[in-house]
């Protein structure tokens, strides 16, 4: 019963802190100091002397500042890495009005610290508090209870409404937990199972090949991606949080069980569990591509017809390989988007990130594949409505819908027509914004049946007209009416040959076909 009491007060403590911090979200400002480690100038090498500001497109986005300390350096200086608006879809940390630098991760000789805050340019003055910057072990139950007893004086800005709701909800929660624990203990006693003394689960295997981490190239809610040197090769290391263990396990099995060797599938090196500071970290080590994701490439580049065809052909080729069942089962990606497509040095693409994928082998349980996964913006209508059929082809059609959106993104950055080209926009961004909810996408895609705009300048172009028709047949409302990945690839090959015939003799030499039907 004492254990039940501790757990109950722990839940009450967490709920109280969460609601306290949630009240801070009402006062956010959408201006932050902006500093980019790859594009620093003389006036912006440190948040204190930086005059560059960033206007957050999402008014709810907090500001952040990221510091990195290299323990292998001579002076072990803590240096600012980047700052600006926090663009993640979900901010699961507790926000403050001031930017307190807190320890985030320790990986080999690199320590990263981050602060998040709300308020006008709140990330300009970073507070270095050694108490919160030191790595701490998980809070024990007794310590948490003692903290609760010592901090029973509520903040001065609590409303009377919270005084009533929080205790009531806490009491209900405590009663529920006590009832649950009583029933659980009763069942255990009836079956004569001991409450303690059960053997601990076996520790996961740890593989520790040497790897030199160079710099962080991406970060998100899943963890970080580092550029690194592994077995004398430049690689990308995706370090996944413990909460992403299932995604790591899925991606490891997809790569290992089915040996995905294809020019348009990201080259896989290893999947490892690393023990850092007594914590298990889950790593996926893959080939490194300096251009980054297709999203990043399109954001900073306007492309010509040759690049448009090569990017699109290679993506369709990679998806065709995933979907076909020759020498391997059909694999549905289930989180297909431009962020999960990487651009290679020859301006073709490879598909990456298989943490949500599903392989339809003989032992596949299709019921498990029916869960609503993926990025909301790229979800097909049947996924948004929860009406997925049990057939393998139905799951593959979900990828085709997302393929149509990715092809539209590529087309929107083509500069070979008279159509105006503004800043890069994600599909439906002009309708649902940067962080849409499921209900936003259901209303847009299913109820209003909207799709990204196809400009008349594109449909009047002799080559892009067929490209637009292909896109529209990919994002059809009915899954059975969509093209297959192979059909998309065949159409793009034909459009590439039409492009070659369309060009005059002087230009033909620049667009001859290389291997695999790509233009060179």
Q: 503 phi and psi, to 5 degrees? A: -75, 155
Residues in contact with 319: Cβ distance below 8 Å, sequence separation at least 6, in sequence order: 333, 336, 351, 399, 403, 485, 488
Q: Alpha helix (H) ranges present in 343-441? A: 381-384, 392-411, 429-432, 438-441
In Å, the largest CA–CA distance within the chain is 87
Q: Please write down the long-range contacts of 118-121, taking CB distance under 8 Å and 24 or more positions apart.
A: 118/24, 118/25, 118/27, 118/28, 118/29, 118/62, 118/63, 119/27, 119/28, 119/29, 119/63, 120/29, 120/31, 121/29, 121/31, 121/32, 121/33, 121/53, 121/63
Identified catalytic residue from 90, 296, 304, 335? 335
Pairing of strands 268-276, 279-287: antiparallel
Q: Are 83 and 116 in contact (CB under 8 A)?
A: no
Strands 126-127 and 110-117: unpaired
Concerning whether 345 is annotated as a catalytic residue, the answer is no
Q: What is the DSSP letter of 484?
A: P
C-beta atoms surrounding 371 within 10 Å = 13
Distance CA 294, CA 314 (A): 12
Helix (H, G, I), strand (E, B) or coil at 401: helix
Residues that are catalytic: 335
């Amino acid at each position: 019963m004492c254990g039940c009491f501790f757990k109950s007060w722990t839940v009450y403590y967490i709920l109280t802190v969460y609601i306290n911090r949630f009240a801070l979200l009402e006062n956010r400002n959408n201006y932050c100091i902006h500093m980019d480690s790859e594009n620093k100038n003389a006036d912006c090498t440190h948040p204190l002397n930086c005059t560059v500001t960033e206007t957050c497109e999402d008014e709810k986005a907090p500001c952040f500042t990221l510091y990195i300390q290299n323990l292998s350096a001579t002076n072990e200086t803590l240096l600012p890495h980047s700052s600006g608006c926090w663009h993640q879809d979900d901010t699961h940390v507790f926000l403050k009005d001031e930017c307190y630098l807190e320890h985030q991760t320790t990986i080999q000789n690199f320590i990263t610290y981050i602060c998040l805050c709300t308020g006008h340019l709140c990330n300009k003055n970073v507070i270095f508090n050694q108490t919160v910057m030191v790595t701490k072990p998980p809070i024990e139950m007794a310590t948490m209870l003692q903290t609760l007893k010592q901090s029973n004086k509520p903040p001065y800005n609590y409303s009377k409404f919270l005084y009533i709701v929080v205790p009531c909800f806490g009491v209900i929660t405590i009663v529920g937990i006590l009832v649950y624990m009583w029933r659980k203990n009763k069942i255990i006693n009836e079956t004569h199972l001991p409450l303690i003394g059960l053997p601990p689960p076996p520790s996961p295997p740890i593989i520790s090949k040497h790897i030199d981490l160079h710099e962080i190239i991406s970060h998100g809610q899943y963890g970080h991606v580092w550029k690194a040197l592994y077995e004398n090769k430049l690689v990308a290391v995706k370090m996944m949080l413990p909460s992403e263990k299932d995604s790591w396990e899925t991606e490891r099995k997809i790569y290992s069980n089915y040996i995905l060797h294809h020019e348009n599938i990201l080259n896989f090196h290893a999947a490892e569990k690393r023990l850092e500071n007594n914590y298990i970290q889950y790593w996926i080590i893959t080939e490194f591509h300096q251009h980054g994701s297709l999203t990043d490439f399109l954001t900073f580049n306007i492309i010509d017809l040759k690049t448009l065809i090569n990017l699109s052909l290679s993506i369709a080729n990679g998806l065709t390989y995933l979907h076909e069942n020759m020498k391997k089962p059909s694999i549905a990606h289930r989180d297909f988007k431009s962020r999960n497509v990487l651009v290679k040095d020859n301006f073709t693409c490879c598909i990456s990130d298989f943490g949500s994928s599903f392989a339809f082998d003989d032992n596949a349980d299709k019921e498990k594949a029916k869960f609503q996964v993926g990025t909301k913006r790229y979800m097909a209508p049947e996924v948004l409505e929860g009406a997925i059929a049990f057939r393998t082809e139905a799951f593959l059609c979900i990828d085709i819908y997302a393929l149509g959106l990715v092809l539209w993104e590529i087309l929107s950055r083509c500069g070979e027509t008279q159509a105006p080209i503004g800043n890069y926009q994600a599909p439906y961004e002009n309708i649902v914004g940067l962080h849409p909810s499921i209900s936003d996408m259901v209303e847009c895609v299913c109820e209003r049946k909207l799709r990204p705009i196809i400009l008349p300048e594109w449909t009047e172009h002799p080559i892009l007209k067929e490209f637009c028709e292909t896109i529209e047949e990919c994002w059809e409302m009915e899954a059975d009416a969509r093209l297959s990945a192979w059909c998309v690839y065949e159409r793009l090959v034909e459009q590439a040959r039409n492009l070659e015939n369309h060009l005059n003799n002087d230009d033909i030499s620049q667009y001859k076909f290389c291997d695999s039907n790509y233009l060179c």
